[in-house]
Structure 1
């Protein structure tokens, strides 16, 4: 009953339009006032959670993405992917998925990925006979890869709340992210092959491919620079973010030569706004986690699971079903902050790997981006076209099924997520 009341209180506040950090903080203050009689522990709780060096990774990764976008480094990505695979029937869909995959590894944002790639991909796909519904679907689904492929904002947030290594999570997201991109690409080819009105541009010459590669190589090098440094232990996640930001800045200034002090100010200002929002949310989540620990809510769930006899697999399936339903109504950050503090003790009791669970959570949050009524990517894609929202939903529907299948595969084969981080030396 207590679990239901806490969940209900937070969800009602969110539906009422109250910001996430405020909703979590208000519920926490209410709990502390009732059960402790004072709220004096809030300041120490907030300070202890924000006084962590790893938090510097958030503004640095955001700044890296802002610089790459503002310098128009990203604009060459879709052109390169289109040049390489566009001649294949369904190749434009594959190019969209490839561009989304690479952009996701730079921006860490699903919405930014869908918006940036969609504006370039949609006109081309419609030009070569793709149904608008199909084109909108692949753009909306491809954009979700920004949550799973590192560096990912939601992944960093989950790592902070759960106290799991960010480096381990980044590496864990690579294979599932590429697997999901491969499944999307294969589906695009199959979908286009079944339609006679879909055509493809002529095969590009080797010279054209080489020229497109030369223009996009600086964007292509960014993800390997960040991830290889983490994998080989050259630097931590925060140092990787700093290296990536420095790389983006040098490319923008000396290679593209279209980045000045005014641009740097705009990027820094946007980064500050985003980072402050995230830090406020972390502060609210910290107080919320402290409050539910005071009333032993997580431990009550653990005891209930033990009494029912629900094993690790049954628990994971039940949690994934719950998060899928929550994803239809709540935003991904809210889901992470509400569920993670409550579920972590139970997962520890059942011996569930938090890195593996984190990847399952990210895939489920990707689903939330394209499932109505509150799928954020659906509305973003709707904003760049005149098509009705129902067409965007119908186009994204097959990808929802594909993602559910991939989620089931990751549940059945945890090593797809855990092998890479543990082979790199991140302990269990």
Structure 2
């Protein structure tokens, strides 16, 4: 049998294992190890397995993952996410759909600390949904804004998706973080436009909230400066070159801990909870990366990427036609497979193919992460939708999926703009290194 056939069998086995509920990391390890045994023998497979485990956990740049996860957990424990929502609530809550807009803005701010879509959706869901229900918001707009706003966590830096992409493609984490800033702000703005459109045609979905005095607004804004300071220090430090991304993560985690202490919330129980969640999430991320680094050599040995590239070139779709077909495949697969898992599974094939078409690898990272965001809220298995469902169990799942559709369309528009104007993603990273 040809190497390509083994590669095809490997991917088929991988999807079968995932369909049976096997954890992604274990599925990648099993298929990668077995495939390497079939193509190169047991000794080469054993060497790859042992070598990749050690190589992955000792990569210095990967220490950014636990540090940023720790920063996000400390910030959440300190109540910084609630402060951000309250500030937005008091400034724009009196507008139509103002609370939904405040939720999206709160998600964007918290995303700049946590780097996690799921954490953003859970945190803001607990904070924002009770307020929107109190002011008689429609369930579609309320839940849709939380689920969609949560997806900003994978695009706005620091993003775990960018870190994984950088490690697997050997690109710069700092450049990828900078590349995500303007697209993240653009997508946030598009979500706000989507909310305005929904409340224009269905005003009952987002009624006006109460007006607050100037003093109340200023107090809320001052209280929310803590999260702004941390964001400016970390992202600003990376942009100016004062910090490396890893150093920025450490400094951000320190300031988040300082906020926890200053607010009198630094108890033994809180520290235990924060540490436990950080270790669990970090362990899961590293386990997936180990599996990806065992799976990738098998894919390379199978020559499958070259065969697929040759087949797609033969379709004569052109550069952008081929890119559109790849992105459509990601949207479809994202409906069934969690984004980070999909990234590590497909990147060994997709990256060399798209780079061979002449696209910038940093720009590609932004486009891929944005498409993965779409999968987080796409039916039937949008992970963020089910996260929101767990926070608001009395709302029907069909209602949440209906609520995310305007935001999904906003993602399509944002994706089209970034593909049409690559400078949106490349402006800051290019300026950073010039």
**TM-score (normalised: structure 1):** 0.95
For residues 229-244 of structure 1, the aligned pairs below 5 Å read 229-244=237-252
Partner of 1:275: 282
Q: CA deviation at 1:16?
A: 0.8
What's the offset of the Cα at 1:124? Answer: 2.4
CA shift, 1:413, in A, is 1.0
Matches of 1:409 and 1:310, distance apart in 2: 21
Distance in 2 between the 1:261 and 1:127 partners? 34
Cα drift, residue 202 of structure 1: 3.4
The alpha-carbon deviation at position 120 of structure 1 amounts to 2.3
Q: 1:205 maps to which residue?
A: 213
Q: Distance in 2 between matches of 1:46 and 1:101?
A: 34
Structure 1 contact 101–149 (Cα < 8 Å) conserved: yes
The secondary structure found in structure 2 opposite 1:144 is: helix
- For structure 2, list consecutive stretches of 5 or more residues without a partner in the other structure: none
Matched, 1:404 2:409: no
State which drifts further: 217-226 or 262-271.
262-271
1:299 is displaced (CA, Å) by: 2.5
Root mean square deviation, CA, Å: 1.7
Query: What is the distance in 1 between the residues matched to 2:181 and 2:221?
Result: 23
- Note the alpha carbon deviations across 1:378-424, whole angstroms, 9 max, x for none: 11111222011111111111211111121111111111111111110
Q: Matches of 2:317 and 2:46 in 1, distance apart?
A: 38
Matched, 1:5 2:9: yes
Deviates more, 1:329-338 or 1:151-160: 151-160
CA shift, 1:309, in A, is 4.2
Asked if the contact 1:93/1:189 (under 8 Å) is kept, the reply is no
Give 1:216's aligned residue: 224
Q: Is the 8 A contact 1:311 1:350 kept in 2?
A: no
Higher mean C-alpha deviation, range 341-350 or range 145-154: 341-350
Give the equivalent residue in structure 1 for 2:402: 394
CA contact (8 A) 2:96 2:196 kept: yes
The 5-angstrom pairing of residues 248-327 of structure 1 reads: 248-253=256-261, 255-327=262-334
Q: How many aligned residue pairs are there?
A: 425
Judge conservation of contact 2:98–2:209 (CA < 8 Å) in 1. no
SS in 2 for 1:201: coil
Residue of structure 1 in register with 2:114 after alignment: 107
Matches within 5 A, 1:53-132: 53-132=60-139
Q: Distance in 2 between matches of 1:195 and 1:40?
A: 60
Q: Which residue of 2 aligns with 1:167?
A: 174
Task: State whether structure 2 residue 24 is matched by structure 1 residue 20.
Answer: yes
Q: Is the 8 A contact 2:13 2:31 kept in 1?
A: yes
Give the secondary structure class of the aligned counterpart of 1:74: helix
Question: What is the CA–CA distance in structure 2 between the aligned matches of 1:195 and 1:283, rounded to whole Å?
Answer: 48
SS in 2 for 1:40: helix
Q: TM-score scaled to structure 2, two decimals? A: 0.94
After TM superposition, give the deviation of residue 272 of structure 1 in Å. 1.6
Closer, same or farther in 2 for the Cα pair 1:46/1:308, shift >3 Å?
farther
The structure 1 residue matched to 2:390, chosen from 383, 396, 405, is 383
1:307 Cα deviation from its structure 2 partner: 4.0
2:153 to 140, 146, 152: 146
2:348 to 333, 341, 345: 341
Counterparts of 2:136 and 2:275, CA distance in 1: 41
Is the 1:91–1:189 contact (alpha carbons within 8 Å) kept by the matching residues of 2? Answer: no
CA contact (8 A) 1:180 1:406 kept: yes
Q: Cα–Cα, structure 1 residues 397 and 196, in superposed 2: closer, same or farther, change >3 Å?
A: closer
